[in-house]
Amino acid sequence: MSNYNNITLDILDNVATITLNVPERLNACSLGMADEINDALDRLDGARALVLTGAGKGFCSGADLSSGRDSSISGGQGSYRALTQRYNPLMVKLANLNIPVITAVNGPAAGVGCSIALCCDFTIASENAYFLQAFVNIGLVPDGGASWVLPRLIGKARATQMMMLGEKIAATQALDWGMIYKVTAPDALLDEAKALAQRLASGPTIALGIMRANIRKGLDTDFTSALMQEAEGQRVAGDSSDAFEGAVAFLQKRKAEFKGQ
């Protein structure tokens, strides 16, 4: 376990787990927490899947607006500086990871916490979790990439509803909308997330990383460009040891044993 003040980082059996760990504040994301997550993402030490979750009763209640050490986040210029220098680089780094990411949302995911919860490949939520674009309630606008992610996940009408009305979206409603992958009982959440992470960590890591990048790029490109991105990705994946193992396993009628290489 790495030594941080606002999060924990554990790596076991090729699965890294980052836990937001300020439960008394529902894991509000201070600038310090954003910095620590950013640092942890550079220290995954060969992990082949990542789980993001929160300690206690909340996933993340949003940016920590009241923390004295983060006073620079207040006001328009302070918010702009915090976003461009701290939060936005964190979201870009999460988006650019070359391993699968699962978020285990154990409670409220509000503001930038909602953006973090939805930045992944698979969002698994507890039955008592909810998602909230709270910005309108305090006269601000969505950030953390919400205005890019939400319309692509749930369409313009529902994204507008979330952003402009500022109402809680329960986990079951989020599932019905196609915003998340699965809803579980609270006591099963982390086991479900880690089981999925272990399954992905046992897969062809190079190919999974390319899939992750191509899905994101495909949202902003034309069909012909997407075809070329797939061809380039197939060239890289096709030369991997895992692709060779997959082909041999197929011919030998056995399950492939991927090593992430």
Average model confidence (pLDDT) for the chain?
93
Residues 6 or more apart whose CB falls under 8 angstroms from that of 240 comprise: 204, 206, 207, 261
Q: Please check whether residues 124 and 44 belong to one and the same domain.
A: yes
What is the residue range of 68's domain?
Answer: 7-201
Assigned domain for 258 exists: no
User: What is the pTM (predicted TM-score) of this model?
Assistant: 0.93
Judge if 171 and 209 occupy the same domain.
no
Number of folded domains that form the chain: 2
Residues 64 and 157 in one domain: yes
Domain assignment present for 1: no
Please check the confidence at residue 73 and state whether its pLDDT lies above 70: no
Shared domain check, 149 and 53? yes
Cα 45 from Cα 120, distance rounded (Å): 19
Clarify whether residues 55 and 128 are in a common domain.
yes
| Predicted confidence (pLDDT) at residue 68 exceeds the cutoff of 70 | no
Determine which of 6-10, 134-138, 152-156 has the lowest per-residue pLDDT on average. Answer: 134-138
Residue 257 lies in a domain: no
Average pLDDT estimate for 16-44: 96
Same-domain status, 220 and 140: no
**pLDDT tens digits, residue range 141-154?**
999 999 999 999 99
What's the mean pLDDT in 10-35?
96
261 domain-assigned: no
For 176-220, what is each residue's pLDDT tens digit?
Answer: 999 999 999 999 999 999 999 999 999 999 999 999 999 999 999
pLDDT band at 1 (very low <50, low <70, confident <90, very high): low
Task: Note whether 56 and 166 are same-domain residues.
Answer: yes
Give exposure, 196-213, as e/b (b: 16+ Cβ within 10 Å): bbbebbbbbbbbbbbbbb
46 or 157, greater pLDDT? 157
**Same domain, yes or no, for 180 and 226?**
no
> Which of 190, 188, 173 has the alpha carbon at shortest distance from 54?
190
Cα–Cα distance for residue pair 163/133, rounded to 1 Å: 5
**pLDDT band, residue 70 (cuts 50/70/90):** very low
CATH label of the domain that carries residue 23: 3.90.226.10
Asked whether residue 75 falls in the same domain as residue 108, the answer is yes
